[in-house]
Amino acid sequence: MSYFDAASSAPLHPVARQALQASLDEGWADPARLYREGRRARLLLDAAREAAAEAIGCRPDELVFTTSGTRAVHIGIAGTLAGRHRVGRHLIVSAVEHSSVLHSAETHRTQGGTVSEVPVLRTGAVSPDTYAEALRPDTALACLQSANHEVGTEQPVAAVAVACRAAGVPLLVDAAQSLAWGRVEGGWSLLTGSAHKWGGPSGVGLLVVRKGVRYAPQGPADERESGRAPGFENIPGIVAAAASLRAVRAEAAAESARLRELTDRIRARVPELVPDVEVVGDPVRRLPHLLTFSCLYVDGETLLHELDREGFSVSSGSSCTSSTLTPSHVLRAMGVLSEGNVRVSLPLGTPAEEVDRFLDVLPRTVAAVREKLGAPTGAPAVTVVQDDSLVVDALGKRCPIPVIELAKVITDVPVGGTVRVLSDDEAARLDIPAWCEMRGQEYVGEEPTEGGTAYVVRRRAPL
The catalytic residues are 320
Residue 84's region, left for phi above 0, alpha for psi from -120 to 50, else beta, is alpha
Of 247, 155, 152, the C-alpha closest to 198 is 247
CA distance 332 to 8: 20
CA distance 350 to 255: 9
**DSSP SS3 for 438:** helix
Pairing mode of beta strands 442-449, 277-280: unpaired
CA distance 4 to 307: 11
CA distance 107 to 90: 13
CA distance 126 to 118: 7
Distances (CA, A) of 395 to 269, 327, 424, 428: 36, 17, 5, 11
The set of residues, in sequence order, having a beta carbon less than 8 Å from that of 432 and lying 6+ positions away, is 402, 403, 406, 421, 423, 443, 455, 457
Concatenated DSSP letters of 297-357: T--HHHHHHHHHHTTEE-B---GGGSTT----HHHHHHT---TTEEEEEPPTT--HHHHHH
| Amino acid of residue 55 | A
CA distance 413 to 463: 12
Residue pair 177/147 in contact (Cβ under 8 Å)? The answer is yes
CA distance 31 to 239: 13
CA distance 372 to 353: 29
